[in-house]
Copies of this chain bind each other. A is one copy, B any other.
Amino acid sequence: MVERRIPVKVEEAVHKVMEYIKHGDVEEVLLKEACGRYLGESIIATHPVPPFDRSPYDGFAIRAEDSKYATRENPVSFKVVETIGAGKVASAPLQPFHAVRIMTGAQMPEGADAVVMIELTQSYVEEQQTFMSIKRSFEAGDNISFKGEDVQKGEVLVEKGTKINPGTVALLATFGYSQLQVIQKPRIGVFATGTELLSVNQELEPGKIRNSNAPMVCAQIEQSGGIAIDLGILEDDFEKCYRAVGEAINSVDFLITTGGVSVGDFDFLPAIYEKLGATVLFNKVGMRPGSVTTVAELDGKLLFGLSGNPSACYVGFELFTYPIIKSFLHSKKPHHSVVKATLGSDFLKANPFTRFVRTSIEYTKEGFVVNPARLDKSNVVSSLAFTNGLTILPGGTKGFQKGQQVDVLLTKDTN
């Protein structure tokens, strides 16, 4: 007698998993290791930006009041007393009708309150002294980047839980975060189960195939921001699997198994979950592929029983494990984005259940265009290599035609 399982809807399954979100602790890293990690502390401006009044141009710093009567007919001359590049400070406060030649980014000399761009000046030398003259007046404050005009000291600039990108790195550097708190990566164990499985470096044998799920899932984990711990292959032996799973749980934040979750004679995961005392959140999802995806919980720790079928395994990870990893990292947007796209080719299969079609999605000027990634047979591993999204075809539909709009779950950037 085949066991009858009641399928839950995809949204409900996701919801059940998300009830067991666990947030990671923080750890300290060097700035140069921080890109791609998630902020474990908010970035606070440790000083104003700019940190001092500075010149945004190459020009001359003057006292605006000295320029008051400057006109085309009656230019006003200034004695150029020194030149300061960025990083240098004027040696003395500015005197009336003196000017400091100042470069972009240099601090305004004391007493100066305007900058005249070089193009608006005429320089000349008299008795080995350089002068410059201007033909119009300037207001106090003209052409100055004022201290704090961009950022005030103490401002919270980026919040904890934000993914660090190169721009964030620039900000961290600006404010002296040579070390910083980031969220620890979750440690996720991966077992591939199945007597048919060989290691990648083994020669093929009759009836056997190489283990492709564990390497794939490990790559998915790393790509999502977790640490993958490849725990190897388990043959279909209840006792061995039970012991291995039971032991592994203690050393990881989450545990993934692939295979063994269906209702075949050697699908032992359901019985293992039962013997471990784990609560099964669901063991059948109304979707293709991956209907046998099972998630259980033991002492608040999630056990992801992904299908042994490579495509189903991929989909199960992206729908259920990915948002748990992102939540662990304190991401405020733990789920993959869903976008509208135009179907680039027919997909005429009927869908009694929601179907997640492995998809190669392209960004074009006309919007997203998707093409189901090669064959849609759930055992075709090759299509996964071109997958950067999953086209969501709702259950109860009869097929879709080229040109129709569909929802697509983006699983990866396209570069």
Residues of A within 8 A of B (CB): 2, 31-32, 35-36, 43, 47, 49-52, 56, 58, 83-89, 101, 103-107, 118-119, 145, 150-151, 157-158, 162-163, 165-178, 194-197, 199-204, 206-220, 222-223, 230, 235-236, 262-266, 308, 310, 314, 326, 331, 333, 336-340, 358, 363-367, 375, 377, 379-388, 407, 410, 412-415
Distance to closest chain B CB from A177 (angstroms) = 7
Chain B hits for A56, CB < 8 A: 379
Residue of B nearest to A412 (CB): B165
Query: Which of B119, B202, B213 touches A2 (beta carbons < 8 Å)?
Result: B119
- Evaluate contact between A209 and B35: CB separation under 8 angstroms: no
- Evaluate contact between B105 and A166: CB separation under 8 angstroms: no
- Evaluate contact between B367 and A340: CB separation under 8 angstroms: yes
- Evaluate contact between A266 and B86: CB separation under 8 angstroms: yes
- Evaluate contact between A215 and B87: CB separation under 8 angstroms: no
Residue of B nearest to A179 (CB): B201
- Evaluate contact between B86 and A194: CB separation under 8 angstroms: yes
Take A87-B208, A107-B206 as given contacts and tell me if A366 and B340 are in contact as well, using a CB distance cutoff of 8 Å.
Answer: yes
- Evaluate contact between B170 and A213: CB separation under 8 angstroms: yes
Query: Which of B43, B169, B206, B212 touches A219 (beta carbons < 8 Å)?
Result: B169
- Evaluate contact between B410 and A412: CB separation under 8 angstroms: no
Query: Which of B168, B262, B326 touches A415 (beta carbons < 8 Å)?
Result: B326
Provide 28 A-B residue pairs closer than 8 Å at the C-beta atoms, listed in order of the A residue: A35-B222, A49-B382, A58-B262, A85-B264, A86-B194, A87-B194, A88-B195, A88-B196, A89-B206, A106-B207, A150-B380, A158-B385, A165-B223, A165-B412, A166-B223, A166-B384, A170-B213, A170-B310, A170-B385, A171-B381, A175-B210, A176-B200, A178-B200, A331-B415, A337-B363, A339-B367, A367-B367, A413-B414
